[in-house]
Structure 1
């Protein structure tokens, strides 16, 4: 048996479009067309850069190549096969995915040579055919930018042969620059270029028209991928359908490639990056915890609820991928307030399934006839959360039949707003005022925003045709940063700013009507009276001096401060309860009135806690002074009141993570009352012998006193 050699060929790479730009940089393109104007070369270079930029940002499967016509040197494959031909034609960039370096490599000025544009077409065609092996290019395009002032000098036989080859290979020739259909540009070269455009089904445009077309970046065209599912109506009816996304809110740029800038060369590196490492740290002892010992949790308020793997079995299971009809309701019940605006999808009968399409069309016609809307529950994929949608019939005049699927808001997401009644005599308008508003509506008609001589379409801001200004500015910034890495980002260009401006014709038409409205509706300015707030007298001398009536022409100096009597700040004697403004004074007044310490203790501690927890400026001196006063009173009478309260207070401070207050209490020596503090401790010990802190002469730590061992073990287990 003889040996057989098996060869496997790789499938060719599919490319949507292959474009070769022929840029004329010869002497014939270097002369400015108008006085102090741009030359043909400068316009062609700007247009070529804009085309490459748009192809880069669109991120499509496109290959781009650049050929220089009229270059100083000759560098192409046809010149190598037949020396002496195709001179002054250089392949600057071979067919490849477009990059920013292509724009940077475009020449800054024209040369003094001239090239044959017909030869450049042949070089481009040969490169499109054989330049990139193992690729299948769906659309082959050649963009020719020349003013045809350099003669081609080709014979008819050569032209016919080249034309047949172009048509056979499916090449498309586009001419950008001169108007080849203008009577002013009618010569043999223009006629030959026009023949190539027409026979290859190409296009032609001037630089002005092309640059207007390239004003805004274009999104890459992507074939919609269907979401195939069965539309279930009840237990027995299932219609195979396909859902396509019509509108979806997506980010301008989905994928960003981060690069590290080298500080020496000031260039970005694509082979280096930032290494990120995620670790779990125990905040108590600052040790690293392994991922095996970490339990995920959810933050509920200020508390973390652990959620282990065993808890996942208790989660709600939405089921498998499905689209189930829950019921039907009147179309009037589904208003725009009930829709969440999270995209729009179209639902069709399954492709190549005639029975499904027929049943689906019957469903749509029934919904239209009965003015109903379907409410469906959608589960996109196994394990995804279910969502509710409304299915609304769509029947176009062109026999376009489908269902539009829009998300429905839940009750929690809808805000009910009450508006005052306007159908009363107070808000009534006469006929003249109503007619003036009608005139204003007609004057601001966007369908007649421009004169017919200015634009082809007189409508301003047409629906589904406007580009997003924010998205365009983001893409502009990306393109500018790629070409100018060291410069600050520019302001939005005028073309983007124009999207925010009122069309001049509408502004002119509405100006007269607006002036008329101002005369018909006389507006009176309403002065809102502000409510007088209580004036809290300041406790500093400066404010006191400003509020004092002047008794003499001499100002009060700092030496006179001791003579000023602050009588206005004296608290009245009729105190009912201990407050937070002057708790010590209130405590003493109530004590003189005969209140016992047991009754005053709850009020005093409540005032101290309010001053601590509700503090804003971070000054706790008043609260600490009140604690000192309360401690001294308890030391003389009943230490148990202070110790029991302080125990609970320190626990609360620890739970709220107010360690700074605990440190202040220790610093001010406001800890528990001990027997050894004064000479009266022996006498007072008989009244509070059950207080362990008062009987012992040692100061226990906060953890040992306030938190039991069972609680500590519980937190250790968690």
Structure 2
């Protein structure tokens, strides 16, 4: 059943002024509180219904005003009773109005709205939250107030008040007399805005759900079976269990949950290229270079079968053998005797008392459902001070999950502490006692009590979800102050620990140990880190740490050129040619440099490579052009394989392609396209281009 809440928010002129004690008006603070209530109802993901009613609105919008002409004015139903949405928060008014409404009439409108919303079925609770400052008393109070209050009580309404303290002597007693009767008669509650925001609405709360039992028989040996139910006590659940996917339209920047990206999965036979139906595929495992099929029949016969669901006791061991380091921490379950089975409950209680007296722990094997992986658990007795008796179930790590660690001995002479040092540590421990973290001004002196501290991670995630829903285009904020407080040491403990810490510093002499880092001698030199003006480049400059000397080539170093590089290929060609180096060797080096400039190019500028080709072509025009034409033929094939077909057009445009017969009679090319058809046929039938990329050693290996 759903829990329904109707919020009556006063937005009239009586809540618009700013009190001297407060920085914000009552309207601003009440609006923040209402928004926070709706936000928590959304994020709790429970079965909640919320409605918003505006008191003191400019317009009148309610069914009671239509039925009774002239009454119930300036009361507007902003949001009907429904599942809470972010739109409710966005629709809250930004400014108060100049009108004034009657909170007594607003209570009647809210009660009438509950009756009209019968489509929601039976409700678990009906809450009405009134938020006003009670400066003005109700103007229209009929004589039959007691009948109205009794009607609220009979219908199961609960009237709660958030605002000033209605029992305070500072308020007009006649203005709050009526609301006190509603609160007391309906067993409602009242509190101030400050307390509600500081305590009740400070952190997000998880929705309360009933525990679902896992029913199984606890087996002890072949003959004993006890019907038990296991309940989850601790479990590490995410902040949001399920996310609803939506597709965002890039044009309208709106998201839609009814649209989605369609994905399809196909299976293709690599040998034939034909599609294979999912029902025809067989799962396999790769072993070396072979794929071994593994059918469903093999799974049944070869794989380990854990069997049916069970909770079987393997044996009992001393509780001293179960160390907390060997527990996996994956949740905690409590085991009780099956509900309604008194014999099972007595058997569980007897088992708990026996384990407790003998200091034993049971080792059990658990299979949650049929054919699921089995897990090992420790079955330990739990006896609470209030005669609460049950068994706790917590997982045990397998041997492979346990890390064996060896620590150096600490009972050495050099590690021995004096009695004064030991006492100083005890004094620090007493000063940092979390059970005495606050003084008498607080209700509870303990800091971070067990089972009461909220998770900072979960709180921040929920804050981010709420912020993103209301501010879709703004960056996410930092964690708020209340969340960061969870990481801080309480001020009283921090103050108490100052003297013990100073005493420890005086008793222990600490020596800073500098860890020498290994120097990597093969670190590549980054020239950009030495951006120093040329005028400041001096050998005796202390600001230059180990400045390396870089030798740049000069005119005198030209004679050191031994091969053609990609820096100045034409100049290198001319220098080596002046040393009477044969053209066959020069052409090989020049071709290697040109291919590197073209195939490894990333900026799309091929001017240096084309100039080098033009120079090489002019040299082959004077001699036999066969080698040059064969190279151009292979180069074009490589350009096609490398998706650089645009370079082929540049070869023709810059006139560095084939050497034609009209330029040299030894050439077999009469025009540019004379061999294109034969070249295409040759590339399609005989993969000559493969010979350019695969080394001879690899080819010989395949031949063998």
TM range (shorter): 0.7 to 0.9
Q: Which residue of 1 aligns with 2:477?
A: 490
Residue from 423, 431, 435 that aligns with 2:419 = 431
SS in 2 for 1:141: strand
Structure 2 contact 460–479 (Cα < 8 Å) conserved? yes
Q: Which residue of 2 aligns with 1:714?
A: none
User: Distance between the aligned counterparts of 1:518 and 1:537, measured in 2?
Assistant: 42
1:671 aligns with 2:696: yes
SS in 2 for 1:85: coil
1:286–1:474 CA distance, 2 compared to 1 (3 A): farther
1:392 aligns with 2:380: yes
1:270–1:429 CA distance, 2 compared to 1 (3 A): same
User: Distance between the aligned counterparts of 1:301 and 1:141, measured in 2?
Assistant: 69
Q: Which residue of 2 aligns with 1:83?
A: 69
Q: Which residue of 2 aligns with 1:605?
A: none
1:319–1:532 CA distance, 2 compared to 1 (3 A): closer
Unaligned runs of 5+ in 2: 526-538, 540-548, 561-687
Tell me the CA shift for residue 300 of structure 1. 7.3
* 1:227-266 correspondence runs (5 A): 227-266=214-253
SS in 2 for 1:34: coil
Q: Which residue of 1 aligns with 2:178?
A: 192
Structure 1 contact 173–203 (Cα < 8 Å) conserved? yes
Q: Which residue of 2 aligns with 1:679?
A: none
1:473 aligns with 2:464: no
1:504 aligns with 2:504: no
- TM-score normalised to the size of structure 2? 0.74
SS in 2 for 1:108: coil
User: Distance between the aligned counterparts of 2:76 and 2:220, measured in 1?
Assistant: 66
* 1:548-587 correspondence runs (5 A): 558=553
Structure 1 contact 449–459 (Cα < 8 Å) conserved? yes
Provide Cα deviations, 1:521-550, integer angstroms capped at 9, x if missing partner: 1122334567799x78999xxxxxx9xxxx
Structure 1 contact 114–150 (Cα < 8 Å) conserved? no
User: Distance between the aligned counterparts of 1:441 and 1:256, measured in 2?
Assistant: 45
Q: Which residue of 1 aligns with 2:320?
A: 332
Q: Which residue of 1 aligns with 2:564?
A: none
1:24 aligns with 2:13: no
Q: Which residue of 2 aligns with 1:580?
A: none
User: Distance between the aligned counterparts of 1:523 and 1:258, measured in 2?
Assistant: 56
Provide Cα deviations, 1:206-263, integer angstroms capped at 9, x if missing partner: 1111112212111111100001111111111111111000111122111111212222
* 1:82-161 correspondence runs (5 A): 82-133=68-119, 135-155=121-141, 157-161=143-147
User: Distance between the aligned counterparts of 2:288 and 2:483, measured in 1?
Assistant: 44
Residue from 197, 202, 215 that aligns with 2:202 = 215
Q: Which residue of 2 aligns with 1:42?
A: 28
Structure 2 contact 135–172 (Cα < 8 Å) conserved? no
- TM-score normalised to the size of structure 1? 0.72
1:666–1:370 CA distance, 2 compared to 1 (3 A): same
SS in 2 for 1:393: strand
Q: Which residue of 1 aligns with 2:347?
A: 359
Q: Which residue of 2 aligns with 1:371?
A: 359
* 1:672-687 correspondence runs (5 A): none
Structure 1 contact 140–172 (Cα < 8 Å) conserved? yes
Structure 1 contact 26–69 (Cα < 8 Å) conserved? yes
Aligned residues, how many?
A: 553
1:69–1:263 CA distance, 2 compared to 1 (3 A): same
SS in 2 for 1:125: helix
Q: Which residue of 1 aligns with 2:627?
A: none
User: Distance between the aligned counterparts of 1:362 and 1:290, measured in 2?
Assistant: 59
User: Distance between the aligned counterparts of 1:128 and 1:466, measured in 2?
Assistant: 36
Structure 1 vs Structure 2 CA RMSD? 2.9
Tell me the CA shift for residue 518 of structure 1. 1.4
1:668–1:431 CA distance, 2 compared to 1 (3 A): same
User: Distance between the aligned counterparts of 2:192 and 2:417, measured in 1?
Assistant: 55
1:303–1:81 CA distance, 2 compared to 1 (3 A): farther
1:345 aligns with 2:370: no
Unaligned runs of 5+ in 1: 1-13, 540-545, 547-553, 565-662, 674-698, 707-718
SS in 1 for 2:381: strand
User: Distance between the aligned counterparts of 2:550 and 2:249, measured in 1?
Assistant: 67
Tell me the CA shift for residue 510 of structure 1. 1.4
Range moving further from structure 2, 382-391 or 77-86: 77-86
1:70 aligns with 2:56: yes
Residue from 284, 287, 291 that aligns with 2:278 = 291
SS in 2 for 1:425: coil
Residue from 428, 431, 445 that aligns with 1:440 = 428
Q: Which residue of 2 aligns with 1:591?
A: none
Tell me the CA shift for residue 270 of structure 1. 2.5
Residue from 213, 220, 236 that aligns with 1:226 = 213
1:24–1:299 CA distance, 2 compared to 1 (3 A): farther
1:259–1:532 CA distance, 2 compared to 1 (3 A): closer
1:360–1:27 CA distance, 2 compared to 1 (3 A): same
Structure 2 contact 102–140 (Cα < 8 Å) conserved? no
